[in-house]
Structure 1
Amino acid sequence: MATQKTLTLLSLLLTTLTLATLSITSNAGGIAVYWGQNGNEGSLADTCSSGNYNYVILAFLTTFGNGQTPVLNLAGHCDPSNGGCTGISTDIKACQGQGIKVLLSLGGASGSYNLASADDAQQVADYLWNNYLGGSSSSRPLGDATLDGIDLDIEGGGTQYWDVLAQKLSQYSQQGNKVYLSAAPQCPYPDAYMSAALNTGLFDYVWVQFYNNPPCQYSGDATNLINSWNTWTSSVPATSFYVGLPASQDAAGSGYLPPDQLISAVLPSIKNSDKYGGVMLWNRYYDLSSGYSSAIKGSV
C-alpha cells in the first residue's frame, strides 16, 4: 500500500498536471469568419456545422444613420426588402446551439453610413436592439433570432460618435442579454475611424485587418505584422485580439499569409499574449475554396 507521503506527492503531481492542462486550454484560440457577401459560400447553417468557427459575422448592414432607412446587404443569399432573409433565423439558432456566436457587422468597404450626432447614434443603437438583438419589432430582417452582438467594420462615414454607439449598445447588456461588441480596424495604428470607440474599453473582440496595408502586414516576413500586433494589444483596452487575414490570395489585394507561415512564423510570437484570441478570416467563400481554416485549426 502507498504511504501517506507517496499519496501526498501523487496528489501534488495531479494538481500540477491539472493546472498545466487548464493553462494550455485557456491559451487556445478560436477562428472568426465573415459570411454574407457571396451567394456561393454556402448557407449559414453549413458554415457553422463545418466545426471550424467559433464566431460568424454577418456582413453587412451597409446603410444606416443620418436619417437613412437601414439596409441589410447579404449579397446573393436573400433579399431583406421583401422579408426574404427571415428564414435565416433558423440557421442563426442552429449556430448558437453549437456554441457559436453570431454577430452583425456594420459598415464595410462600401455603403452609405454615417452618424450625424450623439442622438443619431442612440437611434441606431435602438434600431439594432429592436431589430437584431434582444428587443422587439414587427419588421426584424433576420426573423425572431436574437444575435449575440454587433461588429463595427467602419471604413468611412466620418470619425465621430462611434464611441457613443458602442456605449449605447453596451448599455443594453444591463437588460439581461449580453451584447457582445467587436471591431475590425485596419492594422495601421490608431485606426482612422474607430479609435475613440476602441478606447472606450467596451469591445470584447478586435479582429485587426492585417491585409491591404503593406506597412503592417505579412510580406514574406512577419516582423511588421508582429510589431503591429504588439502595438494594438498594448495600446487598446479590449478583451481579446485576433489576427485578421485573407483566407486566400484572391481575398485581398495584398497581405496573404500562407497557413504554414502563420503557424511557424506568427502564432508562436503572439500566442503568449494574454489578449490573444485567435484568427479572423475574410471570408467564408474564400475559406471554403482554400481550406485555410481547416489547415490552421489545430494550431490556433
Structure 2
Amino acid sequence: MSFLLATTLLLSYLSHPTHAYTLHGYWGANLAQNQYPSSPTSPSAYTEPSLATICTSTPYTHIHLSYMKLHFDVLNNSALDLDAHCRWPTNKWAGYPDPVKGFNVLDCGNVGLDVEVCHAAGKKVILSISPMDYLLTATRAEASARNVWNLFLGGTSSYRPFGNVVLDGVEVRAWNNDPNPELYVVFLRTLRELMDGSGRSGWVISGAVSCIYPDYLLGPNTLNNTLLSLLPTAFTHLTISMLSNPATCGYSSNTAGFYSHLTAWATFLTAASPNTSLVVTLPSWYTPEWVNGATGDYVRLQSVYEAGFWERVKAVGGFGGLAMQDVSFDVLNRPCSGNDSITYSGVLWGLLNGVGGNGTRCAETTNVSPFGGGVSGASSTAATRKAAATSTLKVEPITSDGGEALGQMWQVVLPILVVPIVGLLLRG
C-alpha cells in the first residue's frame, strides 16, 4: 500500500461521520399557495422556488417530486401534477387527449433540466407516488410499475416527462385507502425486478406511512399481504409522517404518543429490515391545514431546545433523517429572531448534524414569515412574497464556541494521529 493511498483512506475515514443523516423535502405541490392565493391586489399566487434553486441553496439531500396522481391516465400512462411547475393543460403533450380524471402524463422539460442541476449538486430526486385511483388487478399493478420505469426511471417512452433524465427512485405514498394492498406488493416487486436488471445500483425506494403503527395500506398486518409484511427489505427509507393525528401522535398535543408510535415503527424496522433508514416527517409550517396537518403537529424550536428533542429522536433505532412537509412553506418559515436567512429545516438540520442541543440557539420569533404576519397569518404583495422566497436561502451552521474550538483542536490532533497509524499501515 502506497503512503498516499494509506493517507487518503485514513483521512477519508476520519473526516466522514459513521452515520450520515438525510434531509428530505416534498417539492411540487406548492401548498403555500393556499395561504397566499391570488387576489385583486395580488394577481399572482405564491409559487415555491424552482427545483434547481432548492437543490443549490438548501441542505436537502433528497427531493420528493409531489406527486404522481394517477396510475393510469386517459391513455394508460402515469399521470403527474407539479402545480405551477408543470401541470395540465400548460404542459400537455401535443395532440394528447384531454384527461378524464383531471390529470395526464405531462411534458415537464424545464423540471428535467432542474433535476440535472440537482444531480450535479449531489442531490437525489425521487418520484412520490400518491395516486387517487386504485390498482384493481395484478396485471394492472405490473403495468403501472412498467409505466413508472419507462416514464421516469431507466426505461424508454415517447412521453417521458423529464426527457432523458433518470430519477433516482420512487416513494410509495398510497394514502387513498386502496382496498387491495397486496397489489402494491406486485407493483413494487415488478419495479424492483426492473431496477435490479438495469445494471445500475443505488436506487432509492421509500415508503411513506402515517405515524400510527401499523399503516393501513403498507402494513404490516396479520393478513400478511402488505408491502411491509412481505417486502420490508425492498425499502431504502421509510418516512414516518408525524402529521394529521394530533390526539394520537402530534408532538404538541401528545408528546408521549409521538415517541411511542415512533418507537413502534423503529422496533418493527429493527427486526424486519435493519438496513432501512427511518425518516421522521414533520410539518414545516405552523398553520396545520396548509401542510396536510392538524393543530398540535408543529414542533416549535423552543420545544426542540428544551425537551431534548433530537437526543430522543436520534436514540430511536434506525433513525436516519428528517423530512419536511412541504418545501414551499419551509422556505418561508424563518423562525430565528434577527436572522431571516435561515429556514426552519436549516435550524433543525444544523442541530441534528452539529453539536446537538448544546449548540447556539437562535431566539425563536413569533413572526416566522420573512414578510410579516406572525403565527396567526401573513400578508404581503405577490411581488414581495416571490422576492422573499426566491432570495438566497442561506443555511448557517448551528455551532458554539466549543464547537469551533473542537474543530481547531482536530487541526492539531489529526496529524499526530495520522503519522503513526499510516506507519503501521505501511508496515502491514
TM-score category (smaller protein): 0.7 to 0.9
Unaligned stretches of 5+ residues in structure 1: 1-14
- Using the TM superposition, give the Cα deviation of residue 273 of structure 1 relative to its aligned residue in structure 2, in angstroms: 4.0
Partner of 2:195: 173
Q: How does 1:53-92 map to 2 (within 5 A)?
A: 53-65=60-72, 68-79=76-87, 80-82=91-93, 84-92=107-115
- Using the TM superposition, give the Cα deviation of residue 44 of structure 1 relative to its aligned residue in structure 2, in angstroms: 0.3
Unaligned stretches of 5+ residues in structure 2: 1-9, 31-45, 94-105, 220-225, 334-342, 353-428
Structure 2 distance, partners of 1:113, 1:96, is 31
Q: How does 1:37-52 map to 2 (within 5 A)?
A: 37-38=29-30, 40-52=47-59
* C-alpha distance 262-28 of structure 1, shift in aligned 2 (>3 A): farther
Answer 1 or 2: which has greater strand percent: 1
Structure 1 distance, partners of 2:304, 2:169, is 28
Partner of 1:123: 143
* C-alpha distance 268-292 of structure 1, shift in aligned 2 (>3 A): same
- Number of aligned residue pairs: give it: 280
* C-alpha distance 285-56 of structure 1, shift in aligned 2 (>3 A): same
Structure 1 distance, partners of 2:137, 2:253, is 43
- Using the TM superposition, give the Cα deviation of residue 262 of structure 1 relative to its aligned residue in structure 2, in angstroms: 3.6
Structure 2 distance, partners of 1:116, 1:292, is 41
Return the match for 2:128 from 91, 105, 128: 105
Structure 2 distance, partners of 1:20, 1:221, is 40
Structure 1 distance, partners of 2:13, 2:146, is 44
* C-alpha distance 19-273 of structure 1, shift in aligned 2 (>3 A): farther
The letter of the residue matching 1:285 is S
Taking only aligned residues, the RMSD between alpha carbons, in angstroms, comes to: 2.3
The letter of the residue matching 2:258 is L
Structure 1 distance, partners of 2:107, 2:140, is 28
1:240 and 2:277 correspond: yes
Deviates more, 1:61-70 or 1:91-100: 61-70
1:197 and 2:202 correspond: no
* C-alpha distance 118-51 of structure 1, shift in aligned 2 (>3 A): same
> 1:182·1:207 contact (CA, 8 Å) conserved in 2?
yes
Partner of 1:10: none
Partner of 1:12: none
Structure 1 distance, partners of 2:216, 2:210, is 8
* C-alpha distance 116-294 of structure 1, shift in aligned 2 (>3 A): same
SS in structure 2 at match of 1:62: strand
Structure 1 distance, partners of 2:328, 2:168, is 22
The letter of the residue matching 1:52 is P
1:253 and 2:294 correspond: yes
Return the match for 2:250 from 200, 217, 221: 217
Structure 2 distance, partners of 1:217, 1:172, is 38
SS in structure 1 at match of 2:209: coil
1:124-175 Cα offsets, whole Å, 9 max, x none, are 1111111100111111012211000011111113333112212111112222
Structure 2 distance, partners of 1:225, 1:21, is 34
The letter of the residue matching 2:252 is S
Structure 2 distance, partners of 1:177, 1:149, is 11
Structure 1 distance, partners of 2:208, 2:251, is 17
Return the match for 2:19 from 19, 27, 38: 27
* C-alpha distance 170-257 of structure 1, shift in aligned 2 (>3 A): same
1:271 and 2:314 correspond: yes
Structure 1 distance, partners of 2:228, 2:109, is 31
With the length of structure 2 as denominator, give the TM-score of the two structures.
0.61
Structure 1 distance, partners of 2:18, 2:317, is 9
Partner of 1:144: 164
Structure 2 distance, partners of 1:260, 1:95, is 33
- Using the TM superposition, give the Cα deviation of residue 33 of structure 1 relative to its aligned residue in structure 2, in angstroms: 0.3
Structure 1 distance, partners of 2:72, 2:23, is 30
Structure 1 distance, partners of 2:172, 2:265, is 17
SS in structure 2 at match of 1:212: coil
> 2:211·2:241 contact (CA, 8 Å) conserved in 1?
yes
> 2:63·2:124 contact (CA, 8 Å) conserved in 1?
yes
1:33-70 Cα offsets, whole Å, 9 max, x none, are 00001161110000111131010000001111598542
Partner of 2:238: 206
> 1:210·1:243 contact (CA, 8 Å) conserved in 2?
yes
Structure 2 distance, partners of 1:19, 1:84, is 43
1:95 and 2:118 correspond: yes
- Using the TM superposition, give the Cα deviation of residue 261 of structure 1 relative to its aligned residue in structure 2, in angstroms: 2.5
Structure 2 distance, partners of 1:149, 1:88, is 16
The letter of the residue matching 1:216 is C
Return the match for 1:293 from 345, 349, 365: 345
Structure 1 distance, partners of 2:13, 2:153, is 37
SS in structure 2 at match of 1:59: strand
* C-alpha distance 65-191 of structure 1, shift in aligned 2 (>3 A): farther
Partner of 2:325: 282
